[in-house]
C-alpha cells in the first residue's frame, strides 16, 4: 500500500477549487478556509468547559460498529468532565456525529458556511471529539456528501482512499464500512490492500480538509481534540445514492443484523474477500 501526502493550499479561490479539486473529486487541505471564524480563536477547551460544561453529551467507544452494538451509545457524561478526560490522555470514548448546535444554538454564530462551492447543507453541522489515540474506522459517509472537516486546537491524522479502491479495501456489502486498518495493514488477511493508494495528512488547528463524496476515510486523533464537519452536495446522483444507502442501512443491514447477528457479519466479511479475490484474479 502506498500513501501519498494530501496537498495543502493557502488562498485557494472558488474557481481553482471547483476546477482542480471538486470536479475531479480530489482531496485538499485548506490552511485558511476557516480563518475568519470566531470559533477558531474562541473554542478552546477552557472556554467550552466554562461556558457549556454542564451539557450532557453522548459517548461511543470502539464497539460502535460491532454487529451486536451497532451505533449504540456507550454512556453519557457532562461535557466539561469529558473535555477534561480527553485533555489528560488516551481514551477510546468519543463524541461522534453530534449536532451540538441543537443543544447550544448560539455556537452557530461562531462559524461561517464557506463560499468555496454551492450546495452546503446548513441543517447538518456535526462535531466530533476524541482522546489521544482514538480511531474512527475506515468508512465513507452514508449520505455521500462532500465533507469539509475543520480541526480545532490539536492534531488529527487522516488517510483517504478513492472510491475506486473499494474492493481492495474489502468493502462490506450493504454497508459503508471496511475492517482494513491502513496504519497497520495485514497483508496476509487482506492481500489486495497491497495495491491500494491512500492519501494522508496531519490536520492542524484551523485547517480544513475537503473529503470528496464517496471517498473512504480513516481518522486517528494524534492528540485529544475536536473538529467540525460541514457537508455540501453538488450532484443529484450522489444525493440519490445517499438516500439509497440510508434505505439499505435501515431496511437491509439493520434488519439482517437483528435477525442473524454475527452470522450476517460473517457473510459480509466473506463477500468482501470474494470481491477482492475476483479483482486480483482479473489483474493476474
Q: Which whole number is the average pLDDT over 211-234?
A: 97
128 HSE (CA, 13 A, CB side) = 21
The pLDDT value given to residue 65: 54
In the predicted structure, residue 277 carries a pLDDT above the cut 90: yes
| Helix pair 79-88, 45-52: axis angle to 10 deg | 160
Q: Which of 69-78, 103-112, 181-190, 203-212 has the lowest mean pLDDT?
A: 69-78
Q: Judge contact between 196 and 276, C-beta under 8 A.
A: no
CA distance 244 to 251: 10
Distance between CA atoms of residues 182 and 185, nearest Å: 5
pLDDT at 127: 98
Per DSSP, the chain holds a count of helices (H) and strands (E) of 8, 14
Neighbours of 229 (CB within 10 A): 19
Cell of 64: 460502535
pLDDT, tens digit, 9 for 90 and up, residues 145-175: 999 999 999 999 999 999 999 999 999 999 9
* pLDDT of 243: 87
Of how many residues is the chain composed?
Answer: 284
The answer to whether 97 and 70 are in contact (CB under 8 A) is no
pLDDT at 69 over 60: no
pLDDT of residue 61: 87
Domains and CATH numbers, the chain: 2-163+197-234 (2.60.120.650)
Give the residues across from 8 on adjacent strands. 29
CA-to-CA dists, residue 76 to 69, 81, 82, 104, 211, angstroms: 16, 10, 9, 17, 29
Which of these, 214, 161, 186, 200, lies nearest to 273 by C-alpha position?
186
Band (64; pLDDT cuts 50, 70, 90): low
Task: Give the pLDDT band (50/70/90) at residue 68.
Answer: very low
Give the model's pLDDT for residue 247.
85
DSSP helix/strand/coil, 142: coil
Q: What is the mean pLDDT of residues 13-29?
A: 98
Higher pLDDT pick, 251 / 195: 195
Q: What percent of the chain has pLDDT over 90?
A: 84
φ, ψ (nearest 5 deg) of residue 229: -110, 125
> What is the pLDDT confidence band of residue 66, given thresholds at 50, 70 and 90?
low
Q: How far apart are CA 268 and CA 271, in angstroms?
A: 5
pLDDT at 251: 85
Mean of all residue pLDDT scores within the chain: 94
Question: Looking at residue 186, what is its pLDDT?
Answer: 97
Q: State how far the Cα of 138 lies from the Cα of 235, in Å rounded to an integer.
A: 24
Amino acid at each position: 500500500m502506498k500513501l501519498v501526502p494530501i496537498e495543502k493550499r493557502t488562498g485557494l479561490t472558488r474557481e481553482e477549487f471547483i476546477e482542480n479539486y471538486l470536479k475531479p473529486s480530489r482531496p485538499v487541505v485548506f490552511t485558511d478556509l476557516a480563518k475568519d471564524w470566531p470559533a477558531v480563536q474562541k473554542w478552546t477547551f477552557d472556554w467550552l468547559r466554562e461556558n457549556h460544561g454542564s451539557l450532557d453529551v453522548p459517548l461511543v467507544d470502539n464497539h460502535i460498529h460491532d454487529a451486536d452494538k451497532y451505533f449504540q451509545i456507550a454512556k453519557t457524561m457532562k461535557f466539561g468532565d469529558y473535555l477534561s478526560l480527553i485533555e489528560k490522555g488516551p481514551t477510546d470514548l468519543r463524541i461522534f456525529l453530534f449536532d451540538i448546535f441543537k443543544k447550544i444554538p448560539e455556537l452557530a454564530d461562531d462559524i461561517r458556511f464557506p463560499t468555496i462551492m454551492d450546495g452546503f447543507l446548513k441543517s447538518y453541522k456535526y462535531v466530533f471529539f476524541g482522546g489521544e489515540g482514538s480511531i474512527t474506522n475506515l468508512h465513507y459517509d452514508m449520505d455521500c456528501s462532500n465533507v469539509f472537516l475543520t480541526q480545532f486546537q490539536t492534531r488529527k491524522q487522516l488517510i483517504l482512499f478513492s472510491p475506486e479502491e473499494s474492493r481492495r479495501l474489502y468493502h462490506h456489502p450493504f454497508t459503508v464500512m471496511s475492517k482494513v486498518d491502513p496504519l497497520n495493514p495485514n497483508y496476509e488477511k487482506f492481500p489486495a490492500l497491497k495495491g491500494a493508494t491512500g492519501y494522508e495528512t496531519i490536520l492542524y488547528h484551523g485547517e480544513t480538509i475537503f473529503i470528496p463524496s464517496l471517498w473512504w476515510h480513516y481518522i486517528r486523533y494524534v492528540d485529544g481534540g475536536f473538529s467540525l464537519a460541514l457537508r455540501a452536495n453538488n450532484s443529484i446522483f450522489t444525493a440519490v445514492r445517499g438516500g439509497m444507502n440510508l434505505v439499505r442501512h435501515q431496511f437491509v443491514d439493520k434488519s439482517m443484523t437483528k435477525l442473524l447477528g454475527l452470522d450476517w457479519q460473517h457473510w459480509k466479511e466473506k463477500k468482501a474477500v470474494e470481491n477482492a479475490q475476483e479483482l486480483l484474479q482479473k489483474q493476474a
